[in-house]
Amino acid sequence: MASNSQSASDARVPSASSTSFTSSSPGSLPLLTGLWAVFAKEVRTELRTRELLVTTAVFALTIVFMFSFSFDPTSEESRRIGPGLLWIAFLFAGTLMLEPAFLREQSNDTLAALRLAPIAPTAILLGKMLANFLFLSITEALLVPVFAVFYNVSVASVLPGIILVCLLGTLGIVIPGTIFSAVTAHARMRELLLPLLLLPIFTPILIAATEATAALLSDPPEWPAMALRLLAGADIIFLTAAVFLFDSLLEE
Amino acid sequence: MSPNRILWLVVKLIAALWMAAAGYAIFFVAPDESTMHAIQRIFYIHVSSAWTAGVAFFLVAVGGVLYLIKRDPRYDWAGLSAAETGFVFTTVVLVTGPIWAKPIWGIWWTWDPRLTSTFVLWLMYAAYLLLGTLVDDKQRRSVLRSVYGIFAFINVPLVFMTIRWWRGQHPSPVIAGAQPGSGLDPTMKAVLFLTWGATLCLFAVLMRSRYRLEVIRGETEELRQLAEDSAVAPASNRPFVSAVTPTGFAGRG
């Protein structure tokens, strides 16, 4: 038992020092300024190469294309199976895209610099989340019209609803995704581990988003009030947990 | 024998007796169900295992929160033990369910929201258990596990909501949220709670021995580290070891 308490105190020492270091001191920037700085940095980095966006978009497109072989893509069938297909594509694309969010900080150890900057850890998390949200939303904006054309469903008349479902669903993907991309950055087999961790967590999002999209695409369209409420609720719950947990993830 | 060991021996004995009593009650005390007959008796095992798994996963989340606050590895070990035991009970739920479903529904499995969400729970805690094996750094592993345990537990209420909202084939709740007119016979209810008590007792015994294993593992890991450190004196002379040691999250770990 003596050795246990020994290791416990060992574990506490570095974390205590880093908490005092990263917690908002009088000189630190306001949360929104820090958040914006991290977000702008992410977007700038991505715009230099655009590799993440292009790869994810092509990957998602490939999934949507491959799905056409798994069922008869007539209008009737598409309305039935399409929403689930679309959201599976988004989930896979999202998991793939979230992988490098923290990984690309590793090569030059730039996360250390981020942590040294006078911004709260929450600002780093929210900035990264916002950037991931933007990237995934762009992919979805590209994918939805392609899906509508390929699978013969009309989205134009219910576009505001589809956009709302996409925004809420994307938030639900990005919030846990950013958290777990931060933690798995050091794991072995992280390329496999991240989807393994994330996909079950996404289940409520997948169910609700699929239900909502199916209701909107049905003939005549229905307003999916319940599914939207569940999505919004899940987003809020995930975000609250993320904000509370992230401080402990960044300290070492 | 230390008093602690005697206490746990007594607990084990109580668990064994309690389980025997529950087994007797399930087959000889509980009344026969009017339409399902004998197969309905699996309900007691099924439901009490599900509730026990719920308790276990709650303890995983509590252990996670306590670990993140206090940074004492013992909370993480307790969480891990609860997760592994809860995983076993969820497996029992997933096995007894289809055994009941085949004669009653005519199928082994249906993608009903509740069945699906139980399966998701099982997958999440399988991921939780795998995750510990894939992270080498002791402290990072504990943090990751705690965070995932909390996140997975947050999904549990969402799981419960799905049955209410996208109602499927699963029998309606008979205890909490039961509709008037449906419900459980008082004797059946008593047998159910008796079985749940036995299951909880078994859970405590299993979790405790799993926890002790983790304590021993933690001590072994520390001793091995100590032996390694004293065998090779200066760390700078160990290029290989420092190369495989993961650099800190921020490079200063």
Tens of pLDDT, residue by residue over B120-129, are 889 999 999 9
Contact between B162 and A207 using a beta-carbon 8 Å cutoff: yes
B72: which chain A residues are within 8 Å (Cβ-Cβ)? 4, 8, 11
pLDDT of residue B174: 63
The answer to whether position B155 is within a domain reads yes
* Burial track A144-176 (b if 16+ CB lie within 10 A, e otherwise): beebbebbebebeebeebbebbbbbbbbbbbbb
- Alpha carbon of A243: minimum distance to chain B alpha carbons (Å): 12
The band of A174, judged by pLDDT with boundaries at 50, 70 and 90, is very high
Mean pLDDT of A230-234: 90
Domain that holds residue B158: 3-27+40-170+183-228
B147: which chain A residues are within 8 Å (Cβ-Cβ)? 179, 183, 245, 248-249
pLDDT of residue B212: 92
The answer to whether position A21 is within a domain reads no
In this model, does residue A15 exceed pLDDT 50? no
pLDDT of residue B58: 92
Torsional class of A72: left (φ above 0), alpha (ψ -120 to 50), beta (otherwise) = beta
The answer to whether position B215 is within a domain reads yes
CA nearest A231 in B: which residue? B158
**What does the alpha-carbon distance between residue A150 and residue A68 come to, in Å, rounded to a whole number?**
9
Report which of A227, A22, A197 is spatially closest to residue A125, judged by C-alpha positions: A22
The band of A140, judged by pLDDT with boundaries at 50, 70 and 90, is very high
Indicate which of B125, B147, B156 best probes the interface with A, i.e. most A CBs within 10 Å of its own CB.
B147
Cβ–Cβ under 8 Å, residues A148 and A155: yes
Contact between B246 and A186 using a beta-carbon 8 Å cutoff: yes
Would you tell me which residues 193-232 of chain B have a C-beta closer than 8 angstroms to some C-beta of chain A? 215, 218-219, 222-223
The band of B27, judged by pLDDT with boundaries at 50, 70 and 90, is confident
ipTM of the complex: 0.77
Mean pLDDT of A123-150: 90
The answer to whether position A87 is within a domain reads yes
Report which of A250, A184, A177, A114 is spatially closest to residue B68, judged by C-alpha positions: A250
Contact between A115 and B250 using a beta-carbon 8 Å cutoff: yes
In this model, does residue A2 exceed pLDDT 60? no
pLDDT of residue B168: 53
Q: Where are the alpha helices (DSSP H) in A24-158?
A: 31-49, 51-67, 75-98, 100-103, 110-116, 121-150
User: How many structural domains comprise chain A?
Assistant: 1
The answer to whether position A209 is within a domain reads yes
Mean pLDDT of B180-196: 80
In this model, does residue A178 exceed pLDDT 70? yes
**What does the alpha-carbon distance between residue A115 and residue A121 come to, in Å, rounded to a whole number?**
7
Q: Where are the alpha helices (DSSP H) in B135-185?
A: 138-165
A6: which chain B residues are within 8 Å (Cβ-Cβ)? 222
The answer to whether position A15 is within a domain reads no
The band of A5, judged by pLDDT with boundaries at 50, 70 and 90, is very low
In this model, does residue B38 exceed pLDDT 60? yes
The answer to whether position A9 is within a domain reads no
Any chain A CB within 8 A of the CB of B73?
A: yes
- Alpha carbon of A173: minimum distance to chain B alpha carbons (Å): 13
In this model, does residue A14 exceed pLDDT 50? no
- Alpha carbon of B175: minimum distance to chain A alpha carbons (Å): 24
CA nearest A243 in B: which residue? B147
Which residues, in sequence order, are CB contacts of B113 under 8 Å at separation 6+?
A: A207, B162, B163, B166, B167, B168, B170
Amino acid sitting at position B26: I
CA nearest A230 in B: which residue? B158
Any chain A CB within 8 A of the CB of B140?
A: yes
**What does the alpha-carbon distance between residue B105 and residue B99 come to, in Å, rounded to a whole number?**
10
pLDDT of residue B14: 92
pLDDT of residue B156: 73
The answer to whether position B118 is within a domain reads yes
The answer to whether position A22 is within a domain reads no
> Residue A205, CB half-sphere, CA atoms under 13 Å: how many?
30
The answer to whether position A52 is within a domain reads yes
pLDDT of residue B92: 94
The band of B160, judged by pLDDT with boundaries at 50, 70 and 90, is low
The band of B90, judged by pLDDT with boundaries at 50, 70 and 90, is very high
The band of B172, judged by pLDDT with boundaries at 50, 70 and 90, is low
Cβ–Cβ under 8 Å, residues B208 and B8: yes
Mean pLDDT of A55-72: 86
Mean pLDDT of A210-238: 87
**What does the alpha-carbon distance between residue A101 and residue A111 come to, in Å, rounded to a whole number?**
11
Note if the bond before A220 is cis, omega within 30 degrees.
yes
Indicate which of A91, A95, A203 best probes the interface with B, i.e. most B CBs within 10 Å of its own CB.
A203
CA nearest A236 in B: which residue? B154
Query: Which range in A39-53, A162-176, B183-197 is most confidently predicted, on average pLDDT?
Result: A162-176
Cβ–Cβ under 8 Å, residues A231 and A213: no
Higher per-residue pLDDT: A202 or B170: A202
CB atoms within 10 A of CB B230: 8
pLDDT digits (tens, 9 = 90+) for A179-188: 888 878 778 8
The answer to whether position B239 is within a domain reads no
The answer to whether position B92 is within a domain reads yes
Q: For B37, which DSSP code?
A: G
In this model, does residue A24 exceed pLDDT 60? no
A190: which chain B residues are within 8 Å (Cβ-Cβ)? 134
pLDDT digits (tens, 9 = 90+) for B196-236: 999 999 999 999 999 999 999 989 988 998 998 887 655 55
**What does the alpha-carbon distance between residue A240 and residue B243 come to, in Å, rounded to a whole number?**
38
Long-range contacts of A28-33 (CB under 8 A, 24+ apart): A28/A118, A28/A119, A28/A120, A29/A118, A29/A119, A29/A123, A31/A120, A31/A122, A31/A123, A31/A126, A33/A119, A33/A123
In this model, does residue B9 exceed pLDDT 50? yes
Which residues, in sequence order, are CB contacts of A249 under 8 Å at separation 6+?
A: A179, A182, A183, B143, B147
Contact between A245 and B147 using a beta-carbon 8 Å cutoff: yes
Cβ–Cβ under 8 Å, residues B151 and A176: yes
Indicate which of A188, A201, A239 best probes the interface with B, i.e. most B CBs within 10 Å of its own CB.
A201
Contact between B135 and A14 using a beta-carbon 8 Å cutoff: no
The answer to whether position B236 is within a domain reads no
The mean-pLDDT minimum among A11-15, A69-73, A167-171 falls in: A11-15
Q: Which of A8, A188, A197 sits opposite B71 (nearest CB)?
A: A8
pLDDT of residue B177: 57
Contact between A176 and B151 using a beta-carbon 8 Å cutoff: yes
**Farthest-apart Cα atoms in chain A, separation:** 69
pLDDT digits (tens, 9 = 90+) for B39-63: 888 888 999 999 999 899 999 999 9
User: How many structural domains comprise chain B?
Assistant: 1
Cβ–Cβ under 8 Å, residues B60 and B153: yes
**What does the alpha-carbon distance between residue B91 and residue B159 come to, in Å, rounded to a whole number?**
17
The answer to whether position B9 is within a domain reads yes
pLDDT > 70: percent of chain B: 81
B118: which chain A residues are within 8 Å (Cβ-Cβ)? none
**What does the alpha-carbon distance between residue A202 and residue B1 come to, in Å, rounded to a whole number?**
49
Domain that holds residue A166: 27-250
